[in-house]
Structure formats: structure tokens, C-alpha cells
Amino acid sequence: MKIGIITQARTGSQRLPKKVLKKINHLTFLEIHLKRIIKSKLAKSFIVATTKYERDNVISEIAKNLKFDVFRGSENDVLDRYYKAAKKNNLDVIVRVTSDCPLIDPNLIDKIIYKHILNKKDFTSNITKRTFPDGLDVEVFNFETLKRAWVNSKKLDEREHVTYYIWKNRKLFSSFCYENSVDYSKYRLTLDYPEDLELFKKLINKIGYDKPWMDYVNLLENDKQLCKINSSRINN
């Protein structure tokens, strides 16, 4: 069984232009993201899925420098990009993460992969019921699940979002939600606005970029001023 992590990345963000290329301590947030997910012990293939546009050449270069495979496809048909990346790399199980989640946790990824394999499900995630901070989102699904979505998705929103068809047709797929014992969904650890960037810089300057996810949550738990930085963006 070949398990691979595919992360989608591009420079064409609107709310925070070129957000994954923003830097802290000489590292882009894309590099931080990739350096973290490559520590997964259960995944054997690591792929960055970006667009064919020239402006995303920099995404490809960063990925290759960190020994990631790169697949380039449609910007708007992200489902097609994922399906073709998975097919090209002969993946049996796909882990979907996104590059605007720089502090995604490799140990958490492995726990969700393990549950997915153990339970023999079509689809497993930690976001069906949110108990983790926004920005620790992980979705795991079998290649056949992805293929069914790719074949049957006809509408624009179904093509723009990789798992939209699966979510919309939950009765067609067996699924499992991985929940945390404590609900930390009130926290936001995703990079989409200037306020998020400010928070990440403070967190990383305090303890570095390579700590377990709970270390960052503990900082937020113990410092209400940190929480206020991007609190207006939570659930927006």
C-alpha cells in the first residue's frame, strides 16, 4: 500500500498575495510547511501539486529543493490536479493538506492515516466535527474514493474543491472523524490574512517552527494577547 501526502500550493492568493512565500527567519512559510509534513513516518510519497502558470515556478523550485515530487496542473480544477498527481505517483491512499497551514503536524497526520487504515474507511478527516484549531486540517482518502469524485463531479464548485463531492454525498462513502479529546477549534492557525501572518511570526519567534501542535496551542492558552491578534478572523 502506497501512502502519499499531496499538498496544494500556488501564489495566486487574493486576501494575502503570495502568502506561502512570506518569510520568517529566512524561511518561507511554504518551506516550513514542507519541512514539517515530510517528517510523516507513514507516508512514503510527498507531492506538491501546483499550477502550470509561470508565476508558480517558484513553488516548484522550493518543493524540488526539499526533495518533494511536483505535479503541475489546472489552477481552478483542483480535483483534476489532485487526481492526476495521485495517479501519476501510483498512490493507494492520499493525504490532503494545504500549504496555507504552515504548522500542520506530522504526528497528527500519522495518527489520522493509522485510523483510516485500521477502520478501512473510504474517507477520514479531523474536520467533520471540528475539535482541532483551524489550520491543522487533514483529509485521508483512498484512490478509488478520489476517482469516484473525479468521475462524477460536474459542477464548478465540485471541481474547485477536492473533497466537495465526497462531503456532499456522504452517504455514498464510509467515513470516520478523528476527534481531539479537548476542543481547541476556537483557535486559528491558518495563513490567510495579515493578522494570521503576525500571529505566526510571534509564535515561531517564541519557540521555533518545528514543535508539536500542542506547544503552539499552549502558547495561545496562556497568552490572551496572542489570541486577540487574529480573533476577528475566526469563523470568517
Tens-digit pLDDT profile for residues 25-46: 999 999 999 999 999 999 999 9
* pLDDT at residue 12, rounded to an integer: 85
What sign has the CA pseudo-torsion 84, 86, 90, 92? negative
Give which of 25, 81, 27, 33 is closest to 53, Cα–Cα.
Answer: 81
d(CA 72, CA 56): 9
| Coil, helix or strand at residue 118 | helix
Dmax over CA atoms of the chain, in Å, equals 48
The values of phi and psi at residue 144, to 5°, are -65, -30
Query: What number of CA atoms fall less than 13 Å from residue 24's CA on the CB side?
Result: 21
Q: Mark 190-218 as b/e (b = at least 16 C-beta within 10 Å).
A: bbbbebbbebbbebbeeeebebebeebbe
Beta-carbon count within 10 A of 52 CB: 11
- Taking only the tens place, the pLDDT of each residue in 140-173 is 999 999 999 999 999 999 999 999 999 999 999 9
Whether residue 230 is predicted with pLDDT greater than 80 in this model: the reply is yes
* pLDDT at residue 15, rounded to an integer: 84
The domains of the chain, with CATH numbers, are 3-233 (3.90.550.10)
Q: How many DSSP H helices and E strands does the chain contain?
A: 10, 9
* pLDDT at residue 93, rounded to an integer: 98
The grid coordinates listed for 114 are 493509522
Query: What number of CA atoms fall less than 13 Å from residue 132's CA on the CB side?
Result: 24
Do residues 108 and 36 touch, judged by C-beta distance below 8 A?
no
d(CA 86, CA 71): 9
- Taking only the tens place, the pLDDT of each residue in 171-181 is 999 999 999 99
The grid coordinates listed for 208 are 521555533
Whether residue 233 is predicted with pLDDT greater than 90 in this model: the reply is no
Whether residue 236 is predicted with pLDDT greater than 60 in this model: the reply is no
